Structure 1
Amino acid sequence: MKDFALELGCLGFTMRLKRLADALIQDGKRMYKELGVDIEPNWYVIFRLLKREGEMSVTEISERIGMAHPSVIALTNKMMKAGYLSSNQCTDDSRRRLLNLSDKALEALPQLEEIWNAGERGVINALEGTNTMEILSLIEQRFSEKGFRERTIEELNKNS
């Protein structure tokens, strides 16, 4: 059967990125379950950021990883429920909560980092001989300079 997303060419671009991301996340979930690790695949970025930077607010995390604030709240709430994050009220602003890795997270980090390092090597192996990461950076840069909406409207105006 033909892959319609491939047939769409550039119009299938976002669908193919989403499909790839979904496949990697689902495979990651199966891997963690198989390894007996009770985390979700997209938590690693929060673990790594908080390990490196220490206590941070949700807004700071959101800005550093380039994810929408509500998405970061959803991730961190799940991590807190699983016991991997602790939360403290900011002394300067009681509306802000500051997140830290919990003792459970710190205890789990050596095993998690071993898994993540192996995953990184696996991705490097899969991408060997390509310049995928450079191309991805270029795509991100170009769409941050001028987004899809602006580019599409520009093209529509060319034909007017």
Structure 2
Amino acid sequence: MNLYQSLGYLVLGSRLRRMSETFLAEINRIYQNEGIEFEASWFPVFYLLSKNESLSIKELSEQTEVSHPAASQLITNLKNKNIVETSVCTDDGRRQLVQFTLKGKAILNQILPIWEAINNSMTELAESDATAMQLLPAISAMENIFRSSDFANSVSGKLNPVSHE
């Protein structure tokens, strides 16, 4: 058992971050090996725009559960690469709608088969181990627990009050 495994929940965040970084590096390597200009961090926006002709930055922010400034920064990055473009919403001039450019649509067509291959490969890997099959349900359960509880206050309540005499 390595250090991370032996420390249990004390290093949960570090282990999840390490696993995420490793996974995303592998995904980015797949795109690079296929000669496709795409970064794994763009996935949520690409996926949502693949299912919707256009979305506002606010809608993208809400659906990806990231802050509006973070979503806006990603959209600006994709605009600078000529992958998406924005237009003013005809119903509400304050809203900017995001949609793919022709280049963005071309990239989407290149990556759709890769998404399917990634999903199939990950399913095969997970199905090879009964415990691994529980990963996605366990992550969902923990996300729900964190949404419905006040973890910081729970920990604070378990600490002994320090007397300042």
Query: One fold, TM greater than 0.5?
Result: yes
1:74-93 aligned at under 5 Å gives the runs 74-93=73-92
Say whether residues 1:135 and 2:134 are aligned partners: no
> Gapped runs of 5+ residues in structure 2?
none
User: Helix, strand or coil: the match of 2:36?
Assistant: coil
Please tell me the residue identity of whatever aligns with 1:41. Answer: A
Corresponding residue of 1:63:
62
Alignment partner for residue 149 of structure 1, among 149, 152, 156? 152
In structure 1, what is the Cα distance between the partners aligned to 2:12 and 2:84?
35
Corresponding residue of 1:73:
72
Corresponding residue of 1:113:
112
Q: Could you give the per-residue CA deviations for residues 109-154 of structure 1, whole angstroms, max 9, x where no partner exists?
A: 2221000110111111222132111111110000000143232223
Q: CA deviation at 1:96?
A: 2.9
User: Helix, strand or coil: the match of 1:36?
Assistant: coil
In structure 2, what is the Cα distance between the partners aligned to 1:61 and 1:105?
16
In structure 1, what is the Cα distance between the partners aligned to 2:121 and 2:41?
17
Worse overlay, 123-132 or 2-11: 2-11
Q: Could you give the per-residue CA deviations for residues 78-117 of structure 1, whole angstroms, max 9, x where no partner exists?
A: 2222221111123454443210111112223222100011
Let me know the Cα RMSD of the aligned residues: 1.8
Q: CA deviation at 1:61?
A: 0.6
Corresponding residue of 1:20:
19
Worse overlay, 68-77 or 18-27: 68-77
Q: Is the 8 A contact 2:85 2:98 kept in 1?
A: yes
Name the TM-score, length of structure 2 as normaliser.
Answer: 0.85
Q: How many residues align?
A: 157
In structure 2, what is the Cα distance between the partners aligned to 1:131 and 1:43?
26
Please tell me the residue identity of whatever aligns with 1:49. Answer: L
In structure 2, what is the Cα distance between the partners aligned to 1:126 and 1:78?
33
In structure 1, what is the Cα distance between the partners aligned to 2:84 and 2:16?
30
